[in-house]
Structure 1
Amino acid sequence: MTPAPVEVEPGLYDIPAELYHSDPIPGGSLSSTGARRIADCPARFKYFLDHPEPYKPEFEFGTAAHTVILGNGPELIVVDEQRWDTNETKARVAAIRAAGNVPLKPEARQRIDDMAEALASHAEASDLLTPGSGLAEQSIFWEENGIWRRSRIDWLRPDEIVDYKSARSVHPDYLQKAVNDYGYHQQDDFYRRGAVHLGLIPPTGTFKFIFQEKQPPYLVAVVELDFPARVIGGELNDRAFYAYAKGRETGYWPAYSEGVTYLSLPPWVERKYAEENS
């Protein structure tokens, strides 16, 4: 059951993930994920707002990794059965999920424990997540220019935000593409704005990502985005805030373009054609 909206004052809250994701702000608030969607396509944002994504079991591995790495989250329950497609096991797994916990196969639990061990041996990452140096899974709510916004911070330190992400690879080329594809530069700006606005970190506070591979040897990379990336993320968020306010005011959520769109071929195709026919 979705919790009912409640009166929320701007600030920092230690609340369950389910309550945060249900959006307890009466009338709704904009999250970083929502800002990334609306900056790409307001119509797509509005669709997902009206049709929330269904629960996906594949997200459970990431949730479980966060729980072990950050020391905060749902209970992880190992279901030691070779097959999860029997009626008995399916019922047990469903009951675990219904209780708000995460069912895991033994090999998945072992893999997460091995990831935690590898991260603990990474000097900078383990220092950032030193127990007692920050607060795990904190939700913040704030209002600017008539727009309520919300974020859920993995690890909040007095002078910085730390976000842990499992990844297919931590090679710099892959991470560069991932940051752009998933809008992590927008997330950096969005979270930082909220934390600074609420006085949780100073204006000079930093945002660091900890990326970790999900397969052995579970390599780790600590990443801080450069100034141009943060500027672009901020401008995309400004665009999202404008589109969000306009959409709420008018009820109009445009797609990528209006009317006829004229497209060119990719530049590399034109270059190749010119070279072959010169």
Structure 2
Amino acid sequence: MKDLLTGALGPGVHDISAEAYHADPAAVPSMSSTLARLMLARSPRHAWTAHPRLNPDYESVEKKTFDIGRAAHRAVLGKGGDFVAYPDHVLAKNGAASTTAAKEWAEEIRARGMTPVKSDEFDAVNDMAAEIMARLAFMEIAFPPARSELTAIAEIDGVMCRAMIDHAPEDPRQPLWDLKTTTDASPDAVMRSIMAYGYDIQAAHYTEVWKAATGEDRAFRFVFVEKEAPHECCVVQLGGDSMVMARKRTARAREMWRHCLTTGQWPGYPAEIVQLELPEFYQARWLERETFEAEVKKATGRDVLEAAYRWQAPENHGETPWA
């Protein structure tokens, strides 16, 4: 395991910073979970654009929407840059971080590898961390910092792949872990998030890269935690069938990556007219409306639009439109 990034890294498990990881420390341009999801959900061109070594115009953009997640990772995992609250004197009177002083302060903080958050967000992150740690302690699970945010690099199907694991316990029988902050950690909402953001692909990619790098065949679990009180948590492990399908997707992503990297061609969307058929549920909503309006007209003799005009007329004085 390497402690510092001193050049291109080969296959194995390494302890490097998030900045070094996102810059792609592998010997050849490698595919991450994010890039795999872009390849499959959008296009190879999107993946090329998001790669720091393939795209000469690549710019790393720090997004405010990710600040809470970064801070929560620091609070729970004990790795990465610290998070600090904006001092009151740089904020606007309404508490917004919109002043020139606040922006300059935030820029300096980010340059030092830390994450700026507001005071209420600072408290919320610590509350989130306390909730997560209490839930995990109840399940007899702990996240020692020494085993957090480890980077696995390995070659799979002729493609160099990388994955930064939020936590990999020392015991190889234990699963790999990933922390997600969200607005709704209920099981149904979590399932929708997994489908919307392709987190099943992340789970497959991480376990495959880890196995190729270490020989350990591990399970994978997510911890979803709500960003607002009461900061409820949901611990999720995808079922066997879901993981089988996810591995089919990661295999396809690697096939696409290998082809594009070999040919130097990273196509976007088709340069043709795409004919779309809208889904049945969308059409069914209009058919339901047509049925409703026909029933209203049959019962009252008036069209719904006419009734709406009568309801809004100044002389109506509260008379029901169906009268």
Give the TM-score band, short-chain normalised.
Answer: 0.7 to 0.9
How far the C-alpha of 1:194 sits from its partner, in A, is: 1.1
Provide the residue aligned with 2:8 in structure 1: 7
Task: Give unmatched runs, 5+ long, in structure 2.
Answer: 292-323
- The reply on whether 1:187 has 2:202 as its aligned counterpart is yes
How far the C-alpha of 1:123 sits from its partner, in A, is: 4.6
> Helix, strand or coil for the counterpart of 1:142?
strand
TM-score scaled by length of structure 2:
0.76
- The reply on whether 1:76 has 2:91 as its aligned counterpart is no
How far the C-alpha of 1:187 sits from its partner, in A, is: 0.5
Aligned partner letter, 2:20: L
Whether the 8 Å CA contact 2:143–2:167 is kept in 1: the answer is no
Provide the residue aligned with 1:144 in structure 2: 156
Whether the 8 Å CA contact 1:141–1:151 is kept in 2: the answer is yes
> Helix, strand or coil for the counterpart of 2:276?
coil
Provide the residue aligned with 1:21 in structure 2: 22
- Number of residue pairs aligned between Structure 1 and Structure 2: 272
CA 258–26 in structure 1, closer or farther in 2 if over 3 Å, else same: same
- Of 168, 176, 182 in structure 2, the residue corresponding to residue 156 of structure 1 is 168
Aligned partner letter, 1:70: L
Cα distance in 1 for residues equivalent to 2:214 and 2:59 = 32
Cα distance in 2 for residues equivalent to 1:198 and 1:257 = 36
- Of 38, 60, 71 in structure 1, the residue corresponding to residue 67 of structure 2 is 60
Larger-gyration structure (1/2): 2
Q: Which moved more, 1:186-195 or 1:241-250?
A: 241-250
- Of 274, 287, 301 in structure 2, the residue corresponding to residue 261 of structure 1 is 274
How far the C-alpha of 1:255 sits from its partner, in A, is: 3.2
- The reply on whether 1:47 has 2:71 as its aligned counterpart is no
Whether the 8 Å CA contact 1:70–1:129 is kept in 2: the answer is no
Matches within 5 A, 1:224-235: 224-235=237-248
CA 107–135 in structure 1, closer or farther in 2 if over 3 Å, else same: same
Provide the residue aligned with 1:165 in structure 2: 180
Q: Which moved more, 1:31-40 or 1:192-201?
A: 192-201
Instruction: Render the CA deviation track for 1:128-187: whole Å, top value 9, x for unaligned.
Output: 33547x711111111123311100000002331010111110122211110011111000
Whether the 8 Å CA contact 2:184–2:190 is kept in 1: the answer is yes
Aligned residues: CA RMSD: 2.5
How far the C-alpha of 1:125 sits from its partner, in A, is: 7.1
Cα distance in 1 for residues equivalent to 2:23 and 2:138 = 31
Aligned partner letter, 2:40: A
Task: Give unmatched runs, 5+ long, in structure 1.
Answer: none
How far the C-alpha of 1:236 sits from its partner, in A, is: 1.1
CA 142–130 in structure 1, closer or farther in 2 if over 3 Å, else same: closer
Whether the 8 Å CA contact 1:128–1:162 is kept in 2: the answer is no
Cα distance in 2 for residues equivalent to 1:36 and 1:130 = 27
Cα distance in 1 for residues equivalent to 2:156 and 2:267 = 23
Whether the 8 Å CA contact 1:5–1:24 is kept in 2: the answer is no
How far the C-alpha of 1:223 sits from its partner, in A, is: 0.2
CA 111–72 in structure 1, closer or farther in 2 if over 3 Å, else same: same
TM-score scaled by length of structure 1:
0.88
Whether the 8 Å CA contact 1:143–1:149 is kept in 2: the answer is yes
**Higher strand share goes to which structure?**
1
CA 185–270 in structure 1, closer or farther in 2 if over 3 Å, else same: same
Whether the 8 Å CA contact 1:38–1:240 is kept in 2: the answer is yes
Whether the 8 Å CA contact 1:185–1:233 is kept in 2: the answer is yes
Cα distance in 1 for residues equivalent to 2:262 and 2:104 = 45
